[in-house]
Amino acid sequence: MADRALIVPDTSLALSEHALAIGQEFPNVETCRRTLKDIAIALHFDLRIVKSDRSRFIAKCSKAGCPWRVHVAKCPGVPTFSIRTLHGEHTCEGVHNLHHQQASVAAEFESKIAEMVEISQDVIPWFQDFSPQLWAVAYFEGMRFGHFTLGVTELLYNWALECHELPIVQMMEHIRLQLTSWFNNRREIGMSWTSILVPSAEKRVLEAIADAPCYQVLRANEVEFEIVSTERTNIVDISSRVCSCRRWQLNGLPCAHAAAALISCGQNAHVFAEPCFTVARYRETYSEMINPILDKSQWRELGEGTEGGVARVDISIRPPKTRRPPGRPKKKVLRVENFKRPKRVVQCGRCHMLGHSQKKCTMPN
């Protein structure tokens, strides 16, 4: 963001301008591809290319079960393409995050800004004051592994709510039982998987592999590749697990460009996912056992079983160690009036009530 300036994209384009119709023509197949991908970005759905060659272009919505589909074919005798069949209704919820497959990093960034500006113009100064590295995933310098929230913290919080009125020992026992059940269920789930990656990661890698044939791959050396499409060119380094679109770095899973490069050199794209997405790491996470605890009636007294018989051990629980805060300690000032005699209570001479004088008495004469 040069000079801390922000160019807000024009968001006045109505959704009706993105409508498709049977018979609609495109000058060539490249224009057809670009138009459909722009529509997918604008209307928030992922476009899955089924077939793309010099005579036809077939695409569908990537969401399973969604009927949206378009078939574009070359018109005979002319270079133009026209829409032959179209199912234009979506039954899916669409894409509402920054992982749109058809959008570049810059396009995703501008699309999100446009949506926020539509809600309120007051966000524009905020965008200008804060670097996008602080709030835009597309410019995040670390790895997000595809997550935006910490769902596990909410789950633990809900468990604590269920038992927050219990004594501390019963509360800890409630959480321990929940964790025991949690670990056991996930152990069984993990043992049932036969793939390299966990299902959520497996699905995303398969989607990237399905999109890979849309790109032309040019190999620069053993590890670097140039991935060419009609929209843009991306550079992939399979040794560093880096793609110039930055999705590989942000999510930890090979993007479609990386998948195209890996497939071209005979590599398995699944192997190039971050280890945290593997079934082996999932099983390792839940392999540790939470040991069972005997009933309280069977707990032994401290010192029981030691030489000389049962001996009760006295334990003194000392207060926690505290750290003196920096700076000069505040002194408690004792006011002089605190040492004076208590104030005389005023009594009314007319009604003989306490708290007011005869002059301020409201009782009629």
The 8 Å CB, 24+ separation contacts for 181-189 are: 183/286, 183/288, 183/289, 183/290, 186/282, 186/285, 186/286, 187/283, 187/286, 187/287
pLDDT tens figures, 122-147: 877 877 787 777 776 666 666 666 66
> Which pLDDT score is estimated for 8?
41
Q: Which structure tokens are listed for 263?
A: 């497939």
What is the residue-averaged pLDDT of the chain? Answer: 78
pLDDT score recorded for residue 300: 74
- Can you give the pLDDT at residue 267? 94
Question: Tokens 């032959």 label which residue?
Answer: 84
> Rounded to the nearest 10 degrees, what angle do helices 105-119 and 29-42 cross at?
40
Better-predicted residue by pLDDT, 125 or 242: 242
Q: Pick 35 or 286 by higher pLDDT.
A: 286
Closest CA to 62 of 208, 202, 197: 208
pLDDT band of 170, cuts 50, 70, 90: confident
In the prediction, which pLDDT does 98 show? 40
- Asked whether the predicted pLDDT for residue 53 surpasses 90, the reply is no
**233-237 and 242-243: which strand pairing?**
antiparallel
- Between residues 53 and 173, which one has the greater pLDDT? 173
Question: In the predicted model, what is the mean pLDDT of residues 80-105?
Answer: 69
Label residue 163 by pLDDT band (50, 70, 90): confident
pLDDT reading at 278 higher than 90: yes
Looking at the predicted structure, is the pLDDT value of residue 191 above 50? Answer: yes
Task: Tell me the average pLDDT across 202-228.
Answer: 90
pLDDT > 80? residue 59: yes
Report pLDDT for 9.
Answer: 41
**Confidence grade of residue 238 (pLDDT, cut at 50, 70, 90):** very high
Single-letter amino acid code for the residue at 51:
K
Q: Please report the DSSP string for 157-174 in residue order.
A: HHHHHHTTTS-HHHHHHH
Q: How confident is the model at residue 4 (pLDDT cuts 50, 70, 90)?
A: very low
Q: Give pLDDT, residue 201.
A: 92
Q: Percent of the chain at pLDDT above 90?
A: 19
pTM of the model: 0.52
What average pLDDT does this structure show over 200-204?
92
The 10s digit of each residue's pLDDT in 6-49 is 444 443 343 445 678 888 888 887 788 778 877 877 777 777 77
State the average pLDDT over residues 332-345.
60
Mean of the pLDDT values across residues 333-342? 55
DSSP 2-56: GGG---PPP----GGGG---TT-EESSHHHHHHHHHHHHHHTT--EEEEEESSSE
Q: Which of 49, 51, 36, 38 is nearest to 207 (CA)?
A: 49
Q: Which residues pair with 85 in a beta bridge?
A: 71
pLDDT for residue 3: 40
- What are residue 61's DSSP bridge partners? 47
Between 332 and 126, name the one with better pLDDT.
Answer: 126
Q: How crowded is the C-beta side of 50, counted as CA atoms within 13 Å?
A: 12
